[in-house]
Amino acid sequence: MLQDIYQAIDALFPDMVEIRRYLHQYPELSFQEVKTAQYIAEYYDKLGIPYQKNVGGNGIVATLKGAKPGKTIALRADFDALPIQDEKDVPYKSKVDGVMHACGHDGHTATLLAVAKVMQAHQEELPGTLVFIHQHAEEYAPGGAKPMIEAGALDNVDAVLGTHLWATTPFGRIQTSKDVLMAGADRFEITIQGQGGHGAYPHETKDSIVIGSQLVSQLQQIVSRRIDPLETAVLTIGIFEAGNAFNIIADTARLVGTVRYLNTEIQDQVIHEMEKIIEGVSVANNCTYTFQYDKGYPPVKNHAAEAQLILDVSREIPEVETAEEIIPVMGGEDFAYYLLEKPGAYFFTGAQKEGNYYPHHHPRFDFDERAMPVAAKTLIGAYYAYQNK
């Protein structure tokens, strides 16, 4: 029966492409995905699959109960876009100025809707229950996963699975980890309050740009000189704002950045070291400061048994040439919250498009749409394999 389902997925490929390209043309930002949620809801209306909407915000949870007894497995797809101008020259280019699906969430949604349609057609032979979690706001912390879980999206679920169409991995590869797959991702903001003045009289000022520059330099030494080299961490300053004239010494500087880590002990150490450095530099320069550190998504830590199951079933899919374990990537994902609640695994489906080698979150991002059926088959295969555990 599984091969019949895989053939049905292949037959739905044109529909998947149509859905993905429609969503690509009409993207919506995190927490603003009203029309996208409505599109998903109308699709389930046509299928006759019951669903809840406005789950934890704009989320949708549909439930398909099989005719046979079995376990309840949740499959998750996100559907928000990014504040990026689409620069691709393709017929399905975004029609919303300054907003773009630059991470594949349109493809995730198309994949999960296709899975729902195929599995609904096999409902009489279906063991257990499938829960389709369509999640809003993955891209922007605090994210949509946590409020959806709090609203009951994982109630009575035995395991949860998800995939990311991975545009930097060649088509035909499935990648996962039996431990940490993706990093924890935090955000911080530092303001330096110095004392501005005339550019010709620096001795009468407390130059916030000079002070901020010292901070940038010293903060980089946390990873290079204070963290065990065998551990993993990233500290990046992404924003440095100060000044508005060439001959005025700025009194205020603003630094905003991110910290990435794989275990919470390193996270705690980075925060502690940052506090000491910021205070020390400020005292040395006789200025004041504010430091706000926001803990974001925790690391995506897979459960070993479910990750192995993904590897095993994907190797039986004809389009999959390689199913492999990989070291963690330093990107973040709020799928982490599902794995804190239930057994499960997250995996990457290779989707690199020939001739388009731009990374995720790039204005020219695109992916190989043939990866969508591969992702769908892997999720379905894992669902059946889990029923037989």
Are residues 381 and 282 both part of a single domain? no
138 is catalytic: yes
Cβ-based neighbours of 108, under 8 Å, separated by 6 or more: 77, 78, 79, 163, 164, 165, 375
pLDDT score at 389: 83
Domain termination residue (choose one: 295, 322, 357): 295
pLDDT in tens, 164-213: 999 999 999 999 999 999 999 999 999 999 999 999 999 999 999 999 99
pLDDT in tens, 83-128: 999 999 999 999 999 999 999 999 999 999 999 999 999 999 999 9
Are residues 143 and 200 both part of a single domain? no
Task: Please report which confidence band the pLDDT of residue 1 belongs to, taking 50, 70 and 90 as the band edges.
Answer: confident
Using CA atoms, how far apart are residues 371 and 382, in angstroms rounded to an integer? Answer: 16
Are residues 98 and 235 both part of a single domain? no
pLDDT in tens, 292-349: 999 999 999 999 999 999 999 999 999 999 999 999 999 999 999 999 999 999 999 9
Are residues 197 and 303 both part of a single domain? no
pLDDT in tens, 273-290: 999 999 999 999 999 999
265 is catalytic: no
Task: List the domain range (segments joined by +) for residue 359.
Answer: 2-182+299-387
pLDDT in tens, 218-263: 999 999 999 999 999 999 999 999 999 999 999 999 999 999 999 9
% residues pLDDT > 90 (the chain): 99
Domain termination residue (choose one: 258, 276, 295): 295
User: Looking at the chain, which runs of residues are DSSP E strands?
Assistant: 51-55, 59-65, 68-78, 127-135, 159-170, 173-176, 180-182, 184-193, 197-198, 233-242, 248-249, 252-261, 288-297, 300-301, 322-325, 344-352
> Looking at 33, 78, 80, 139, which residue is catalytic?
80
Q: What Cα–Cα distance (Å) separates residue 88 from each residue in 190, 298, 363?
A: 36, 33, 7
> Looking at 138, 207, 306, 366, which residue is catalytic?
138
Whether residue 371 has pLDDT greater than 90: yes
Domain count across the chain: 2
Name the 3-class secondary structure at 331.
coil
Cβ-based neighbours of 122, under 8 Å, separated by 6 or more: 1, 4, 5, 8
Are residues 239 and 358 both part of a single domain? no
